[in-house]
Amino acid sequence: MKEVGRRRSAANRLTAADPRLKVLLVFIFGLVTWRAGIAGVLLYGLILAAIMLLLGDLSTANRSLIRTYALFVLIWMGVKFVFEIVGGAAIESAFYQTADLGLRLLVLLLLGLSLALSTSSRDLGLAAAWFLRPVLGRRAWQAALALALMIHFLPLAWRTFDTVRRTVAMRAQAVSWPRRLSLTAQAALRALSLKTWDQTVALAARGLDGPEAWKGRFRFRFREWAAGLAAVGVGLAAAWV
C-alpha cells in the first residue's frame, strides 16, 4: 500500500507540475533526441517508459493508441531498411540504421504521449499562449485554442474510429471488406460530426472562445524549475555518452 501511495503521489506531482516547464522539456529533449548517441537515446526511452508506468493510464483506448504508434514506427523502419539496401548499404549497416531510426521515433512518440497523459489539453493551451504571446500578441489565444482542440480531439477521433471499426466488424461479418470499409468511414464521419458540434457548444458554454480564457496565471515554483534544469543537464550529458 505504501508503494502504491508513493507512486500515486509522484504521479500527482508530475501532473500538477508547471505545464510551461513540461512543454519546454519536451521541446528540448525532442531536439536532443535526434543528436544524442544511441546510449543516450536508450536512457531517454527507459526514463519515458518509467514515466508511462508511473502515470499508469493504460486504458483500452491508450493501449490501442500505443499499438498504432508501434505500427507507425515499424512502417518507417521498413521504409528506412529498403532505402538503405537500395542505396547499396550492407545488411548489417542497414539493420543498424533502421534500428537507430526506430528507437529515435519511438522516444519522440513517448515524449509526446507522456506530455499528453500528464497535462490536460487546457493547461497545454495555456502554456502555448504564454510562450506565443511575445510573438503573436493578442492573437496568441487563437493558436492556444487550436492546439488545445487538436490535442483533445485527435485521441477522441481515434477512439471513435476504433469503436466504430469494432462495431462494424462484429455486426457486418457477412459483408465484403470494401463495403465494410465504406460503412466504417460513413459511421465514423457521422459520429465525429456530432462530437464536433458537442465540442463547439461546450467551448461556448465554458467561455473558452475568447482571449480572456487563455490568460493563465502560473505560479513560479523554484524547486520544479531547478529539477527541470537539472534534468536538462543530465539529458545533455547523456546525449554524448
Same domain, 35 and 104: yes
Phi, psi dihedral angles at 96 (to 5 degrees)? -65, -45
If you average pLDDT over residues 55-79, what whole number do you get?
76
CB 107 within 8 A of CB 49: no
Please indicate whether residue 90 or residue 216 has the higher confidence score (pLDDT).
90
Same domain, 65 and 141: no
Same domain, 26 and 62: yes
Same domain, 110 and 20: yes
In tens, the pLDDT along 108-117 reads 988 988 888 8
Q: What angle do CA 49, 233, 107 make, to 5 degrees?
A: 25
Same domain, 196 and 208: yes
Same domain, 102 and 86: yes
Same domain, 111 and 212: no
Same domain, 3 and 90: yes
Question: In the 8-state DSSP scheme, what is residue 114?
Answer: H
pLDDT higher than threshold 70 for residue 241: no
CB 14 within 8 A of CB 118: yes
pLDDT band at 59 (very low <50, low <70, confident <90, very high): low
Instruction: Please give the single-letter amino acid code of residue 110.
Output: L
Same domain, 112 and 161: no
Domain range enclosing 233 = 1-119+219-241
In tens, the pLDDT along 72-120 reads 899 999 999 999 998 888 888 889 999 999 999 999 988 988 888 888 8
CB 188 within 8 A of CB 160: yes
Q: How many domains does the chain have?
A: 2
pTM: predicted TM-score of the whole model, two decimal places: 0.78
Same domain, 206 and 241: no
In tens, the pLDDT along 8-33 reads 776 777 788 888 899 999 999 998 99
CB 55 within 8 A of CB 11: yes
Q: Is 123 helix (H, G, I), strand (E, B) or coil?
A: helix
Same domain, 96 and 212: no
Same domain, 110 and 174: no
Instruction: Please give the single-letter amino acid code of residue 38.
Output: I
